[in-house]
A and B are shown apart, each in its own frame.
Chain A
Amino acid sequence: MNWAEFFSMGGRGAFVWGSYGAFALAVVIEIALLVRRTRKGRENP
Protein backbone atom coordinates (compact mmCIF):
# COMPACT_ATOMS: atom_id res chain seq x y z
CA MET A 1 0.00 0.00 0.00
CA ASN A 2 1.67 3.12 -1.20
CA TRP A 3 0.68 5.69 1.40
CA ALA A 4 2.15 8.61 -0.47
CA GLU A 5 0.01 7.76 -3.44
CA PHE A 6 -2.99 7.23 -1.22
CA PHE A 7 -2.71 10.66 0.37
CA SER A 8 -2.11 12.45 -2.87
CA MET A 9 -5.16 10.87 -4.53
CA GLY A 10 -3.86 11.37 -8.03
CA GLY A 11 -2.72 14.89 -7.24
CA ARG A 12 -6.15 15.96 -6.05
CA GLY A 13 -5.60 15.13 -2.42
CA ALA A 14 -6.70 18.56 -1.22
CA PHE A 15 -10.13 18.19 -2.76
CA VAL A 16 -10.75 14.62 -1.68
CA TRP A 17 -9.46 15.02 1.86
CA GLY A 18 -11.05 18.44 2.06
CA SER A 19 -14.41 16.90 1.29
CA TYR A 20 -14.14 13.98 3.64
CA GLY A 21 -12.60 16.22 6.26
CA ALA A 22 -15.36 18.80 5.98
CA PHE A 23 -17.96 16.07 6.32
CA ALA A 24 -16.24 14.62 9.38
CA LEU A 25 -15.93 18.09 10.90
CA ALA A 26 -19.60 18.86 10.27
CA VAL A 27 -20.64 15.61 11.91
CA VAL A 28 -18.38 16.22 14.91
CA ILE A 29 -19.65 19.78 15.33
CA GLU A 30 -23.26 18.69 15.08
CA ILE A 31 -22.77 15.98 17.68
CA ALA A 32 -20.87 18.34 19.97
CA LEU A 33 -23.60 20.98 19.77
CA LEU A 34 -26.24 18.38 20.50
CA VAL A 35 -24.32 17.01 23.48
CA ARG A 36 -24.01 20.54 24.83
CA ARG A 37 -27.71 21.11 24.37
CA THR A 38 -28.55 17.86 26.13
CA ARG A 39 -26.24 18.71 29.03
CA LYS A 40 -27.76 22.15 29.41
CA GLY A 41 -31.18 20.57 29.47
CA ARG A 42 -30.15 18.23 32.27
CA GLU A 43 -28.72 21.03 34.37
CA ASN A 44 -31.81 23.22 34.26
CA PRO A 45 -34.79 21.10 35.27
Chain B
Amino acid sequence: MKIYRYASPTLFYPLAGALWPWFAGFAAILGAVGLYMSFFVAPTDFQQGEVYRIIFIHVPSAWMGMFIYLVMAFYGVLALSFNTRISAMMMHALAPTGAMFTFIALLTGALWGRPTWGTYWIWDARMTSTLILLFLYLGFMALTHAIDDTRRADRAGALLAIVGSVNIPIIYFSVKWWNSLHQSTSVSPGTAPKMAQIMLITMLVMVFACWAYSIAMALVRVRALIREREAGAVLEGTQ
Protein backbone atom coordinates (compact mmCIF):
# COMPACT_ATOMS: atom_id res chain seq x y z
CA MET B 1 0.00 0.00 0.00
CA LYS B 2 1.31 3.36 -0.97
CA ILE B 3 0.60 4.94 2.38
CA TYR B 4 3.37 2.98 4.07
CA ARG B 5 5.89 5.02 2.09
CA TYR B 6 5.19 7.85 4.51
CA ALA B 7 6.64 5.88 7.38
CA SER B 8 9.94 7.10 6.06
CA PRO B 9 10.85 10.47 7.55
CA THR B 10 12.29 11.79 4.32
CA LEU B 11 9.01 11.15 2.54
CA PHE B 12 6.83 12.30 5.41
CA TYR B 13 8.65 15.62 5.60
CA PRO B 14 7.16 17.20 2.47
CA LEU B 15 3.76 15.70 3.20
CA ALA B 16 3.74 17.33 6.61
CA GLY B 17 4.95 20.52 5.00
CA ALA B 18 2.03 20.53 2.60
CA LEU B 19 -0.55 19.68 5.23
CA TRP B 20 0.18 21.88 8.17
CA PRO B 21 -0.89 25.21 6.64
CA TRP B 22 -4.35 23.74 6.03
CA PHE B 23 -4.74 22.71 9.64
CA ALA B 24 -3.40 26.03 10.80
CA GLY B 25 -5.98 27.74 8.62
CA PHE B 26 -8.81 25.61 9.98
CA ALA B 27 -7.62 26.30 13.50
CA ALA B 28 -7.60 30.05 12.90
CA ILE B 29 -11.05 30.11 11.32
CA LEU B 30 -12.69 27.75 13.79
CA GLY B 31 -10.95 29.56 16.63
CA ALA B 32 -12.26 32.91 15.47
CA VAL B 33 -15.78 31.56 15.08
CA GLY B 34 -15.57 29.83 18.43
CA LEU B 35 -14.37 32.93 20.23
CA TYR B 36 -17.08 35.01 18.66
CA MET B 37 -19.69 32.50 19.71
CA SER B 38 -18.24 32.29 23.21
CA PHE B 39 -18.84 35.93 23.85
CA PHE B 40 -21.62 37.08 21.54
CA VAL B 41 -23.77 34.08 20.74
CA ALA B 42 -23.78 31.98 23.88
CA PRO B 43 -26.30 33.47 26.28
CA THR B 44 -25.71 34.55 29.85
CA ASP B 45 -26.10 31.60 32.15
CA PHE B 46 -28.96 31.68 34.61
CA GLN B 47 -26.89 30.44 37.55
CA GLN B 48 -23.32 31.43 36.86
CA GLY B 49 -23.69 34.63 34.91
CA GLU B 50 -20.87 35.53 32.59
CA VAL B 51 -18.04 33.71 34.32
CA TYR B 52 -19.15 30.34 32.96
CA ARG B 53 -17.75 31.35 29.58
CA ILE B 54 -14.43 30.07 30.83
CA ILE B 55 -15.66 26.54 30.07
CA PHE B 56 -15.24 27.28 26.39
CA ILE B 57 -11.51 27.21 27.06
CA HIS B 58 -11.44 24.85 30.04
CA VAL B 59 -13.34 21.90 28.64
CA PRO B 60 -11.72 21.79 25.18
CA SER B 61 -8.28 22.07 26.83
CA ALA B 62 -9.04 19.23 29.20
CA TRP B 63 -10.32 17.02 26.41
CA MET B 64 -7.33 17.79 24.19
CA GLY B 65 -4.91 17.08 27.03
CA MET B 66 -6.43 13.67 27.53
CA PHE B 67 -6.92 12.88 23.87
CA ILE B 68 -3.40 13.87 22.84
CA TYR B 69 -1.91 11.59 25.49
CA LEU B 70 -3.89 8.67 24.11
CA VAL B 71 -2.73 9.49 20.58
CA MET B 72 0.84 9.60 21.90
CA ALA B 73 0.36 6.17 23.42
CA PHE B 74 -1.04 4.93 20.11
CA TYR B 75 2.06 6.16 18.30
CA GLY B 76 4.08 4.51 21.05
CA VAL B 77 2.45 1.19 20.26
CA LEU B 78 3.24 1.72 16.58
CA ALA B 79 6.83 2.65 17.39
CA LEU B 80 7.43 -0.47 19.47
CA SER B 81 5.56 -2.83 17.16
CA PHE B 82 6.78 -1.68 13.76
CA ASN B 83 9.95 0.12 14.70
CA THR B 84 9.14 3.03 12.39
CA ARG B 85 11.10 6.14 13.26
CA ILE B 86 8.27 8.43 12.25
CA SER B 87 5.87 6.96 14.84
CA ALA B 88 8.25 7.77 17.65
CA MET B 89 8.79 11.25 16.25
CA MET B 90 5.06 11.95 16.13
CA MET B 91 4.87 10.88 19.75
CA HIS B 92 7.58 13.36 20.71
CA ALA B 93 5.97 16.04 18.55
CA LEU B 94 2.62 15.79 20.30
CA ALA B 95 3.84 15.91 23.89
CA PRO B 96 4.46 19.66 24.38
CA THR B 97 1.08 20.62 22.94
CA GLY B 98 -0.67 18.08 25.13
CA ALA B 99 1.13 19.34 28.19
CA MET B 100 0.21 22.92 27.31
CA PHE B 101 -3.49 22.07 27.04
CA THR B 102 -3.40 20.15 30.31
CA PHE B 103 -1.77 23.08 32.06
CA ILE B 104 -4.34 25.49 30.63
CA ALA B 105 -7.12 23.16 31.72
CA LEU B 106 -5.80 23.30 35.28
CA LEU B 107 -5.30 27.06 35.23
CA THR B 108 -8.72 27.85 33.77
CA GLY B 109 -10.27 25.35 36.13
CA ALA B 110 -8.82 27.29 39.05
CA LEU B 111 -9.95 30.62 37.60
CA TRP B 112 -13.44 29.22 37.10
CA GLY B 113 -13.54 27.63 40.52
CA ARG B 114 -12.70 30.75 42.48
CA PRO B 115 -15.66 32.92 41.51
CA THR B 116 -18.07 30.02 41.22
CA TRP B 117 -17.36 27.86 44.26
CA GLY B 118 -15.07 30.06 46.34
CA THR B 119 -11.74 28.27 46.09
CA TYR B 120 -9.05 28.27 43.44
CA TRP B 121 -8.37 24.60 43.78
CA ILE B 122 -10.88 21.82 44.34
CA TRP B 123 -9.77 18.27 44.90
CA ASP B 124 -12.48 16.74 42.78
CA ALA B 125 -11.98 13.73 40.54
CA ARG B 126 -11.55 15.57 37.27
CA MET B 127 -9.18 18.30 38.45
CA THR B 128 -7.05 15.83 40.39
CA SER B 129 -6.88 13.42 37.46
CA THR B 130 -5.92 16.31 35.18
CA LEU B 131 -3.15 17.25 37.59
CA ILE B 132 -1.82 13.70 37.51
CA LEU B 133 -2.07 13.75 33.72
CA LEU B 134 0.20 16.80 33.75
CA PHE B 135 2.68 14.84 35.84
CA LEU B 136 2.54 12.02 33.29
CA TYR B 137 3.33 14.49 30.50
CA LEU B 138 6.17 16.05 32.46
CA GLY B 139 7.54 12.60 33.26
CA PHE B 140 7.46 11.65 29.59
CA MET B 141 9.26 14.81 28.52
CA ALA B 142 11.79 14.51 31.35
CA LEU B 143 12.60 10.90 30.52
CA THR B 144 12.95 11.44 26.77
CA HIS B 145 15.15 14.48 27.29
CA ALA B 146 17.35 12.69 29.81
CA ILE B 147 18.25 9.91 27.38
CA ASP B 148 20.91 10.86 24.89
CA ASP B 149 20.63 7.83 22.63
CA THR B 150 17.78 8.58 20.22
CA ARG B 151 16.66 5.00 19.77
CA ARG B 152 16.54 4.34 23.48
CA ALA B 153 14.71 7.62 24.07
CA ASP B 154 12.09 6.72 21.46
CA ARG B 155 11.46 3.26 22.82
CA ALA B 156 11.58 4.22 26.49
CA GLY B 157 9.18 7.08 25.81
CA ALA B 158 6.88 4.74 23.92
CA LEU B 159 6.82 2.25 26.78
CA LEU B 160 6.22 5.00 29.32
CA ALA B 161 3.39 6.47 27.25
CA ILE B 162 1.76 3.04 26.97
CA VAL B 163 2.13 2.29 30.68
CA GLY B 164 0.77 5.74 31.46
CA SER B 165 -2.24 5.38 29.20
CA VAL B 166 -3.10 1.99 30.69
CA ASN B 167 -2.97 3.62 34.09
CA ILE B 168 -5.08 6.65 33.20
CA PRO B 169 -8.43 4.88 33.56
CA ILE B 170 -7.22 3.22 36.76
CA ILE B 171 -6.04 6.55 38.13
CA TYR B 172 -9.26 8.29 37.11
CA PHE B 173 -11.36 5.59 38.70
CA SER B 174 -9.35 5.60 41.90
CA VAL B 175 -9.52 9.39 42.18
CA LYS B 176 -13.28 9.35 41.58
CA TRP B 177 -13.53 6.67 44.24
CA TRP B 178 -11.40 8.72 46.61
CA ASN B 179 -13.52 11.76 45.98
CA SER B 180 -16.77 9.94 46.71
CA LEU B 181 -15.31 8.52 49.93
CA HIS B 182 -14.46 11.94 51.23
CA GLN B 183 -17.42 13.85 49.91
CA SER B 184 -18.65 15.62 52.99
CA THR B 185 -19.85 18.89 51.59
CA SER B 186 -23.07 19.20 49.71
CA VAL B 187 -21.58 21.18 46.88
CA SER B 188 -20.42 18.99 44.05
CA PRO B 189 -18.10 21.13 42.01
CA GLY B 190 -17.15 20.35 38.48
CA THR B 191 -20.67 20.35 37.15
CA ALA B 192 -21.03 22.67 34.26
CA PRO B 193 -24.18 24.74 34.02
CA LYS B 194 -27.08 23.02 32.38
CA MET B 195 -25.95 23.24 28.84
CA ALA B 196 -28.16 24.99 26.40
CA GLN B 197 -27.61 23.54 22.97
CA ILE B 198 -25.92 26.67 21.72
CA MET B 199 -23.34 26.35 24.49
CA LEU B 200 -22.60 22.79 23.43
CA ILE B 201 -22.16 23.85 19.83
CA THR B 202 -19.80 26.62 20.86
CA MET B 203 -17.78 24.18 22.88
CA LEU B 204 -17.61 21.77 19.95
CA VAL B 205 -16.37 24.51 17.66
CA MET B 206 -13.62 25.32 20.15
CA VAL B 207 -12.74 21.62 20.46
CA PHE B 208 -12.33 21.31 16.71
CA ALA B 209 -10.27 24.50 16.65
CA CYS B 210 -7.94 23.08 19.32
CA TRP B 211 -7.79 19.80 17.45
CA ALA B 212 -6.77 21.46 14.19
CA TYR B 213 -4.25 23.56 16.11
CA SER B 214 -2.73 20.47 17.73
CA ILE B 215 -2.35 18.70 14.40
CA ALA B 216 -0.73 21.75 12.82
CA MET B 217 1.70 22.11 15.72
CA ALA B 218 2.53 18.40 15.71
CA LEU B 219 3.24 18.45 11.97
CA VAL B 220 5.53 21.47 12.22
CA ARG B 221 7.29 20.03 15.24
CA VAL B 222 7.80 16.67 13.59
CA ARG B 223 9.35 18.46 10.62
CA ALA B 224 11.75 20.18 13.00
CA LEU B 225 12.51 16.81 14.58
CA ILE B 226 13.13 15.22 11.20
CA ARG B 227 15.50 18.03 10.34
CA GLU B 228 17.34 17.61 13.63
CA ARG B 229 17.68 13.88 13.32
CA GLU B 230 18.07 13.09 9.67
CA ALA B 231 20.87 15.57 9.26
CA GLY B 232 22.50 13.73 6.43
CA ALA B 233 19.45 12.98 4.36
CA VAL B 234 18.26 15.11 1.51
CA LEU B 235 14.90 16.56 2.42
CA GLU B 236 12.58 17.63 -0.34
CA GLY B 237 11.73 21.30 -0.20
CA THR B 238 14.78 22.40 1.77
CA GLN B 239 17.32 24.79 0.35
Which residue of chain B is the closest to A41 with respect to CB atoms? B227
Main secondary structure of the interface of B (DSSP, over half): helix
Chain B residue contacts of A6, Cβ below 8 A: 39
Chain A residue contacts of B100, Cβ below 8 A: 26-27, 30
Q: Is the CB of B220 within 8 A of A19?
A: no
Chain A residue contacts of B231, Cβ below 8 A: 45
Chain B residue contacts of A12, Cβ below 8 A: 49-51, 115
Cβ-based interface call for B69 (8 A): no
Size category of the binding interface on chain B: 20 to 34
Q: Is the CB of B227 within 8 A of A22?
A: no
Q: Give residues 1-45 of A contacting B (CB, 8 Å).
A: 6, 9-10, 12, 15-16, 18-20, 22-23, 26-27, 30-31, 34, 37-38, 41-42, 45
Jot down 19 A-B pairs with beta carbons below 8 A, ordered by A. Answer: A9-B49, A10-B44, A10-B50, A10-B51, A12-B51, A12-B115, A15-B54, A15-B111, A15-B112, A15-B115, A16-B50, A16-B54, A19-B112, A22-B107, A23-B57, A26-B100, A27-B100, A31-B217, A42-B238
Interface residues of A (CB under 8 A from B): 6, 9-10, 12, 15-16, 18-20, 22-23, 26-27, 30-31, 34, 37-38, 41-42, 45
